[in-house]
Structure 1
Amino acid sequence: MGDLLVFVLSGLVSGALYALLATGLVLSYSASGLFNFAHGATAYLCALTFYELHSGLGWPAVPAALLVVCVLAPGLGWGWTG
């Protein structure tokens, strides 16, 4: 039963990530008429930064996530549009 819960949670997380990436791709395409893959690149960079902070440097998950969500992601958006 414990294995089933692990697989269900893993599938939910993976599905949510794919849904967010697909939503961003559809929104950017419907707004501009062009495929813009920068949304996926931003998600990859944020995920990689979180992974390196959490696994590589040993940061706890919550501070690493807060740094990525509250500092890195808005900074990337501001830098690309500014």
Structure 2
Amino acid sequence: MNPILAILKENNISDEQIAGLFQTLTENPIAAMATIGQLGLPPEKLQQLMGQVMQNPALLKEAVVELGLDFSKVEAAKAQLEK
């Protein structure tokens, strides 16, 4: 299992919340950051999660694909932010 998804599941984040978070990520990465803050993860787990993403951004793509979402939407949103 993807380490990002594993951290979320270890902290009793439901499959629906995880799917919603990654759906938001594919539509608006900035909003996803706010959403993850609302999940109630303990600070040390949130730090661990962010560390995973910073060290290996490809994990986000793997998680999106594992959840059956369209990663090209993440790339499009990211490109829009860079403009």
TM-score range, shorter chain: under 0.3
Q: Which has the higher contact order (CA 8 A, sep 6+)?
A: 2
TM-score (norm 2): 0.25
Indicate the structure with greater helix content: 1
Greater Rg, structure 1 or structure 2?
Answer: 1
